[in-house]
Amino acid sequence: MNMKSVAVDFGDRKLDIEVPESAVIAEFENPPLLEDPVGAVRAALAKPYGCPPLSELAKPGMRVAIGFDDPTRPNTPPQTILPEIIDVLLQAGVSERDIIFVNACSNHKKSTRSELANHLGLKIFNRFWPLGQILNHDCADSTQLKYFGITDGGRYVEMNRHFFEADLMIYQGNVASAAWKSYTGTGAVVGLASTRSIASHHSFHSIPDPGSKNSASTKRYGSVKEEMTNYLDQATGKQVFYINSINGLGGKMAGVFAGTAKDVKPPAWELAEKLFRRPVPQQADVLVVGLPQTYSYGSANNTLIAAVGALVPPRFSPGKPILREGGVVIAVSPTSGVIDERTFPSYPEAIRLYRQCFSAHSLVDYEDEFSHRQEYLHSYTHNYAYPAIHAFWLLYENEYTLGRASRVIMAGTSNPGAFRELGITPTANFADAWKIATRSVGPDPMTVVAPTFWSKPRLKFDVQS
């Protein structure tokens, strides 16, 4: 079998691996970018989808809350968009003292002062931080949350009080690939929700699967975000004004769309479909994913974050699953498998608990106890740590690929035991991983390589046959 060399992400460098000459390389290609992003933002604010211009919505005396996707997203869009929003608000007569920013960190860690300054840019940060007008969302503090009720689909609606009690709610977000057919964006109902609210759509029974778009629940209620957004619109009598960007490399914008959640979604998703889908001729026997040093929630040295790097990509299949039943996933990483317990204090205990379970489903019974553990709450509130239950969300979403693949391999790790307890086979190098894979699927496997899945905007694997 003829082979070829492909350079894949491997920590903070590239690693050349040998794969079949027929292997498909699936990689994000940078699209045409906006030539005048500031002008495009101004045009979007002036002519939004489904509502009047922002300049007409803003009135003197209004209290305005601006939510924004947290620093797990690129910082170029907020630094481009937020100053333009402020200019429109002030020109409309809104007092600068009546504007607050809320970091929509969902069930992630809160952002430090320096992280917020880096994300928002010094122009915004130095202007609004000194008077306490830039806040981190707190998903656990009941005094900062407001309960609105439970949707017909069983979603618990409890949201950030500072944001949803404002007279005018604005949200700066990003449209990027998510699992299956979905994309991110219009995310206030997730980014500004309480832990209990997030659990009502992130818990094991709620993690989407490939057939979820055709399920009875989906047909009745629409997507989780649509269901909760509609409920909040009725409960508050107001709609969030969204401005979402679609980004290329370095967070540079390829498109920007403003308006209500319902109306801004179709044009944004239409562009996203063009930019993020990558055709793959058929399902993969072997899917190879390169892992950079840092992505998503932090360092790939973290066992669970490295596991996410291996196990989540197969879920980015909008049609037929990219990985065939019984296929093999090989993640390539020098991960040390060591968890930073200051930032992720609950992860080691969650993994020990998972080790005692036959399935991640069993962890559901421990969600409430973990969420209310005082030492974890203290770390989240005061030490910029991830909430305790975040580890559960990762274990839940990992379950799909563990059940579908015959093997998941972590090639290059220096800590084999850390991955064995997550159901992942460790190898010292890619060559050893390839030998194991071909023993499982045969000597001439259909191979798909995603060398930069995590270091570039995430793509979707569009299986053609």
- What contacts 211, CB < 8 A, 6 or more positions away? none
Per-residue pLDDT, averaged over 457-462, amounts to 98
Weakest mean pLDDT among 172-181, 217-226, 403-412: 217-226
* Verdict on whether the full-model pTM lies above 0.85: yes
**What is the average pLDDT score of the chain?**
96
Q: At what angle do helices 76-91 and 113-120 cross, to 10 degrees?
A: 80
Supply the pLDDT for residue 214: 46
Per-residue pLDDT, averaged over 313-333, amounts to 99
Supply the pLDDT for residue 355: 95
Write out pLDDT tens, residues 391-419: 999 999 999 999 999 999 999 999 999 99
92 Ramachandran zone, left/alpha/beta (phi>0; psi -120 to 50): alpha
Supply the pLDDT for residue 216: 47
**Closest alpha carbon to 326 in 425, 405, 435, 408:** 405
Tell me which amino acid residue 395 is.
L
Instruction: Name the residue with tokens 């460098």.
Output: 13
Question: Quick one: tokens of 215?
Answer: 């399920």
Per-residue pLDDT, averaged over 227-239, amounts to 96
With pLDDT > 90 as the criterion, what percentage of the chain qualifies? 94
**Closest alpha carbon to 280 in 20, 460, 28:** 460
Tell me which amino acid residue 296 is.
S
- What contacts 213, CB < 8 A, 6 or more positions away? 180, 181
Residue pair 295/71 in contact (Cβ under 8 Å)? The answer is no
Question: Quick one: tokens of 377?
Answer: 């709450």
Write out pLDDT tens, residues 430-446: 999 999 999 999 999 99
Question: Quick one: tokens of 152?
Answer: 């017909």
**Closest alpha carbon to 164 in 258, 93, 245, 233:** 233
Q: CA 301 to CA 395: how far, in whole Å?
A: 17
Supply the pLDDT for residue 252: 98
Residue 27: exposure state from Cβ atoms within 10 A (0-12, 13-18, ≥19): middle
CB-facing half-sphere around the CA of 124: CA atoms within 13 A: 30
Which sign does the torsion angle of CA 227, 229, 235, 237 carry?
negative
CB neighbours of residue 134 within 10 Å: 22
State yes or no: pLDDT of 207 exceeds 60.
no
Residue pair 452/9 in contact (Cβ under 8 Å)? The answer is yes
Q: How confident is the model at residue 75 (pLDDT cuts 50, 70, 90)?
A: very high
The domains of the chain, with CATH numbers, are: 3-29+281-463 (3.90.226.30), 37-274 (3.40.50.11440)
State yes or no: pLDDT of 128 exceeds 90.
yes
State yes or no: pLDDT of 298 exceeds 70.
yes
Q: CA 183 to CA 247: how far, in whole Å?
A: 13
Q: CA 135 to CA 101: how far, in whole Å?
A: 6
Write out pLDDT tens, residues 355-374: 999 999 999 999 999 999 99
Write out pLDDT tens, residues 3-52: 999 999 999 999 999 999 999 999 999 999 999 999 999 999 999 999 99
Q: Which long-range contacts (CB under 8 A, 24 or more apart) does 362-366 make?
A: 363/204, 363/392, 363/395, 363/396, 364/203, 364/204, 364/205, 366/392
State yes or no: pLDDT of 208 exceeds 70.
no
Q: Reduce the DSSP state of residue 322 to 3 states and report it.
A: coil
State yes or no: pLDDT of 57 exceeds 50.
yes
Per-residue pLDDT, averaged over 347-356, amounts to 96
Report the Cα 424 to chain-centroid distance in Å: 23
Element (H, E) at 434: helix 430-441
State yes or no: pLDDT of 161 exceeds 60.
yes
Angle at alpha carbon of residue 211, lines to 72 and 320, rounded to 5°: 85
Supply the pLDDT for residue 1: 83
Q: CA 58 to CA 310: how far, in whole Å?
A: 45
With pLDDT > 70 as the criterion, what percentage of the chain qualifies? 96
Q: How confident is the model at residue 210 (pLDDT cuts 50, 70, 90)?
A: low
Supply the pLDDT for residue 96: 98
Supply the pLDDT for residue 221: 56
